[in-house]
Every structure is written in C-alpha cells, then in structure tokens.
Amino acid sequence: MNTAEYAVGTLAAVAFAGILLKVLTSGNVQAALTAVIDRALK
C-alpha cells in the first residue's frame, strides 16, 4: 500500500468512528443500552 491508500483508509476509519460515536451517544440508543444492562443485572 502506498501513502495515499493509508490516508484514505485512515480517513474512512475516522469517519466511521465519528458516526458510531454519534449513534451510541444518542438518547434512544443510550436508553436501550441502559435497559439491557438493567435487565441483565436483575
């Protein structure tokens, strides 16, 4: 792989991480995760 391919791969990984962070920090997803954890601990 050359430098340009590494740059494109890094940019794609950062974009994916940003989208994943946005989804996981949304209210609906946090509520669902909290409910699953609460159920698992009871």
C-alpha–C-alpha distance, residues 31 and 35, integer Å: 6
Q: pLDDT by residue (tens digit) across 8-37?
A: 999 999 999 999 999 888 888 889 989 999
pLDDT of residue 36: 94
- The pTM of this model reads 0.63
Specify the amino acid at residue 34: T
C-alpha–C-alpha distance, residues 8 and 6, integer Å: 5
